[in-house]
Structure 1
Amino acid sequence: MDLSKYEITDSKLEHSNWRFPSLIKTRPLRELDEDDFLINHKIDRSYDDSTVRFKLLVGGAVSANLEDSNNLPIRQDILKIVKEQKWVSDEYEHMWRRDGGGSAALTSHGILTFLLQTPRDGRSFCSLSLVNRERTHCGGVYICDDHYSLDTLLASQIYHNRHPKVPRDFAILPINILVHHVEETLGYVQRLSREMTSTEKRLADGDLNLENNGDYKLLNRLNLEHIRLQRRSDFELELAANLVKYIDEYHRMWSALWEGGTSYIEDMREKIEQQKRYSEQVQRDLDLLPRRIKNQSKTISNFIIQRDNKLNISLAESNKKIAEESRRDNLLNLEMAAATAQVAEQTRQDSAAMKTIAVLTLTFLPGTAIASFFSMTMFQWPFRDDKQIASPYIYVYFVVTIPVTLLVYAFWLWWFKYSQRHYKKSHDEGLSKFEQELKMRVRSATGTW
């Protein structure tokens, strides 16, 4: 990361009517052997011995999601000098590794230090280690993106600590960070609340987007945004509390020099308390959002349940109609079966009648045929006496007719049994072939062999 430096004297502030320049300019940090910015803390004697130079080592953060959040983005040789000069502490390095951010006001060996870092959540980001030495210098390390640039926070700002004897402090920077952060969070919360209200109205009108779980994804995104803003709001409240602690400690350190002129301390405390109240109001709005998101999630769930119930009712009605049609089909099949049975019975009776006719035919047909044969004129039967009723050769008729009739019966019986055997054989072969084909299909479908 490229580092730059910013410095301004309190005498320059006084000459500009106690305002920071309208354009905050930083200069690149040169090589260490050419630049004494990190180690030379001269007192600006243009006013008196208590005036102190304000100094900041500034680094730019492209976003809160820095590639390496475990180590400060400062070259090791520069970091070594910064640590020796007590511009950063172990607490600051620990805070840098935290994604949740935080703040702290520390006092050690007459050095008042203030640390802060906004949550690292992919949005605006800044990190500050601010050191107030007794009478040497006030400054530190400031890493930020464009949202929290020095030009955004300090340009044309009034510097209120004008007490002639008390060393200057740089509390204006973390206080302006708090003000800017509260305004930024308020804007995000308002946008989130408007989007939530728009979603509530749309869902109340029954306009749901369930394609690809659209509304569920929307509520999940709103919930994640709420969690992010909740963490930002918690950071603001902690920052305000630590700034009050920082101002009180600064007042205590120089209580002998204030001589009753503590309006600066009171003004700063009131400004911090005001931002704290704003942040508490924002947090109350945030506290309502989870309930609203949960209610809308229930609304979507209830709508889906009602829709599924309607579909189930419609499906049940369709199944009822199908069952009724099936019942009618079964009744029709029963009627058809009864009719078929009746036809079969009539067929059986007809078959029995035909069988009777066939038997009678087989019985009388040979005799009739033979009688017709003997009655031909080609036969001359001699009679001994004209008074005989029957010819003495009548036995010939029976001798011929009975064997022929028996022969016909025997042939018919043989043909009937032969037909039955042939039919049974063909039927058994067809059934066996069907069973084999059915087994093959089952094996192919189930993959079992």
Structure 2
Amino acid sequence: MSDSTPLGGFSRRSFLRAVGGMAVAGAAGASMAACGSNSGRASSGAGSLQQWYHQYGEKGTQQAALKFAKAYKDAAVTVQWVPGDYGSKLASGLLSSSAPDVFEDQLNIELIKTGQLAPLDDIFASVKDDFTDADVKLNTYEGKIYGIKMIDDPQFLYYRKSMFQKAGVQPPTTFDELIAGAKKLTNSKTKGVYFGSQNFVVDHIAPYLAAAGTSVVSADHKSNLLTPEVIAAFTKLRELYTSGSVLQSAPTEWTDPSAFIQELVAIQWCGLWALPQIKQAFGDDFGVMAIPSIGAQGKQVVYNGGWSTFVNAKGKNVDAAKKFVKWLWIDQTQYQEEWSLDYGFHIPPRKSVATKATKLQTGQAADAVKLAGQFGIVDDIAFTPKMATAVSDAGNKILRSGADPKAALGTADGIVQSELKRLFG
């Protein structure tokens, strides 16, 4: 599931823009087009449910979704497997007469503000302690839980142990150590580190700022952009970007481990999904580490991505949809492990399920699980697409053009404040 990238970084910007557009679309009907339709069982009448997934990349996932739906006996569940621009199609589909009852997504404030999501506290309360605090926080707003995590996709830095040993470099825990180490690891054939070609800033806003001990939006819904921590974070990123040790262009983006496997870099930001491919290439000659801390208030960070399941509060069968969601993503622990580990490589969100998963108990996989538990952070659902674009534009001006951080962030700060006023008054 290599498209499971940071929401705070807005790699799936088209999705979030589409969802944000729902706030102004009103109740205007929209037809959902170009979606693959597959039924677990024939569906008709009040006992039927529509469940939507985006098109996963791993072989077998669609068949598994159909198998799960067919195994459910209390309603006929039709699975829509949506190729292409899932975000736009979901946004349109939720406004149509054939809206899904259950759908996967990532929690966004617009979905809550438009009354699109049914609270799930009644089905979630008994297992809340079996999910990580980060995953509970991710799907919670004003004390209510709106989604149940389906997979955890931690993202971190992969590094080559032999290259580190040869260069006399230890895995860094601070950004200053990362910059110094990346320089030592850079030679005529290999750069020190790769964070992505096109979206060096925008794909990683949340983890960068978390590493500096801050975020775009404060807990009380204020803009943090002009705080010393944010300015220090972008200043340090500029220092890394201009150090000569960053691979700034590669044949594949950071979601694909090819740059690392082809030894174009000694360090690459990527997700847990890439671990089996990297292990096949290098055996035990690699490790995983958190993004190093930035500044005195900073901390090491692992971004925890992934997908959650939601119930359409405006659907025709809300109670039946919640019952199905409980059955699949709370009761059926064997399906939860299968979904995470039999087709791709992810962490089951239930702690009890992840603990028993043999594929995660040794080597770098076990290290990744430990790092995710120790340093994992999630997105701020109040960080809207408009904010993301503004912060991304400012960040790119700082990194790529050398703009003064305070001046560049000033424009973005006005947009963030305007969005926060719109959302929270």
Q: How high is the TM-score relative to the length of structure 2?
A: 0.21
* Relative contact order, higher structure (CA 8 A, sep 6+): 2
Larger Rg: 1
Which structure carries more helix by proportion?
A: 1
Q: How high is the TM-score relative to the length of structure 1?
A: 0.20
